[in-house]
Amino acid sequence: MSTEIRFTDFKSDTQPTWCPGCGDFGTMNGMMKALAETGNHPDDTFIVAGIGCSGKIGSYMHAYALHGVHGRALPVGTGVKLANPELEVMVAGGDGDGFSIGAGHFVHAVRRNLDMTYIVMDNRIYGLTKGQASPTSRADFETSTTPGGPQQPPVNPLALALAAGGTFIAQTFATDAKRHAEIVQAAIEHDGFGFVNVFSPCVTFNDVDTYEYFRGNLVDAEEEDHDPTDYDAATSVIMDRDREYQGILWQDEQSVSYHTQHGVTEPMIDLDDGAPAGAMDLVREFY
């Protein structure tokens, strides 16, 4: 591993089938750049992906990967990271995967605070199934399964993470390549669960939350001198009903990762040819 790793080393030779212009291209590029910048190698990196357009990312990146069932990417990443803490684990999924079918796992993965990174490619729509409402779709967003709009408030993933005790909560925009990559890099470097919600527009099925919308409305918290280590300030930007932000919105400087907390730091993968030394003590306990 003496040669320097470039972000293209994380690119597989499989051609993406994402629609031209899909936000997922930018999202993935930023992930690859951040992995390279943080000195990771594809051989020591594990990508977990769920189901949906976002789920294809495991095929398009060059790293060890698992493409799992819908909504369960975070638990898979949890198992990988605990069994081999030396691997860099990055979990990627969509807003459906993370905040609908997998919402329960999201809350608990945040609470658990494993040292891994979670990238949500949030396009506020179900794209692969051709345009149905997602948990982050607007209340009046009309789709084939919600003809009058969902008529429910969208989930605020950042608030959900904050309420669950998140230690790193950030939001980025897929085409703001530099900011996106540097924020993902900070998430990787964070000692705990780095959550980055990425606005990753769907150019085919979402005509509301478009590139134009985000370009015109997204406020960069950094430019507003937001202090991400100030919990009250973080709460106020995350709970803001009027404006949407990009940037690191909350980072707990006191974060202690699950691994440190529980002393799980060694890989569990090597075994003896027989029962481990000391196994007979287990039998003696039953006398």
Partner 1 sequence: MNRCRPPHPCFQKAFAGVFESSADMPADFNWAVGGEAGDGIDSTGKIFAQALSRAGRHVFTSKDFASRIRGGYTAYKIRTAIDPVESIVDRLDVLIALTPRTIEENLDELHQGSIIIYDGERTTMENVTIPEGMVGVDVPLKRLAEEAGGAIMRNVVALGAACAVTKFPIENLDSALEKRFSSKGTALVENNQAAARAGQAYVDEEYDIDAPEYHLEETDADYVLLNGDQAIGMGAIAAGCRFYAGYPITPATAVMEYLIGRIERFGGHVLQAEDELSAINMALGAARAGARSMTATSGPGIDLMTETFGLVATSETPLVIVDVMRSGPSTGMPTKQEQGDLNTLVYGGHGEVPRFVVAPTTIAEAFWKTVEAFNLAERYQTPVYVVADLAMAVTEQTFPHEVFDMDAVEIDRGRLVDATGLDEWSVDGKFTPHAVTDDGVSPRVLPGTPGGVHMSTGLEHDAFGRRTEDTSVRIEQVDKRQRKFDVAQAAEPLEPRSFGADDADTLVISWGSNEGAIVEAMELLDGPVRFLSVPYLSPRPDLTAAVEAASQVIVVECNATGQFADLIEHDTMTRVERINKYDGVRFKADELAAAIAERSQMEVPA
Note the residues at the interface with partner 1 (CB under 8 A).
Answer: 1, 14, 42-44, 46-48, 58-59, 62-69, 71-72, 74-84, 86-87, 104-105, 107-108, 262-264, 266-269, 271-276, 278-280, 282-284, 286-287
Contact yes or no for 39/185 (Cβ under 8 A):
no
Measure Cα distances from 281 to 115, 273, 275 in Å.
Answer: 33, 18, 12
d(CA 229, CA 251): 5
Select from 93, 94, 89, 145 the least CA-distant residue to 114. 89
Select from 70, 77, 80, 76 the least CA-distant residue to 101. 70
With respect to partner 1, which residue has the nearer C-beta, 216 or 276? 276
d(CA 65, CA 49): 8
With respect to partner 1, which residue has the nearer C-beta, 256 or 279? 279
Q: What does the longest C-alpha to C-alpha distance in the chain come to? A: 72
Contact yes or no for 57/73 (Cβ under 8 A):
no
With respect to partner 1, which residue has the nearer C-beta, 47 or 234? 47
- Give the shortest CB-140-to-partner 1 separation in angstroms: 32
With respect to partner 1, which residue has the nearer C-beta, 1 or 216? 1
- Give the shortest CB-158-to-partner 1 separation in angstroms: 20
- Give the shortest CB-242-to-partner 1 separation in angstroms: 33
Contact yes or no for 133/147 (Cβ under 8 A):
no
N- to C-terminal Cα distance for the chain? 52
With respect to partner 1, which residue has the nearer C-beta, 67 or 138? 67
- Give the shortest CB-156-to-partner 1 separation in angstroms: 20
- Give the shortest CB-273-to-partner 1 separation in angstroms: 5
With respect to partner 1, which residue has the nearer C-beta, 54 or 246? 54
Phi, psi of 194 (to 5 degrees): -90, 110
Two structure tokens written together for 47:
């990508």
With respect to partner 1, which residue has the nearer C-beta, 239 or 282? 282
Two structure tokens written together for 80:
């990988």
- Give the shortest CB-128-to-partner 1 separation in angstroms: 13
- Give the shortest CB-138-to-partner 1 separation in angstroms: 29
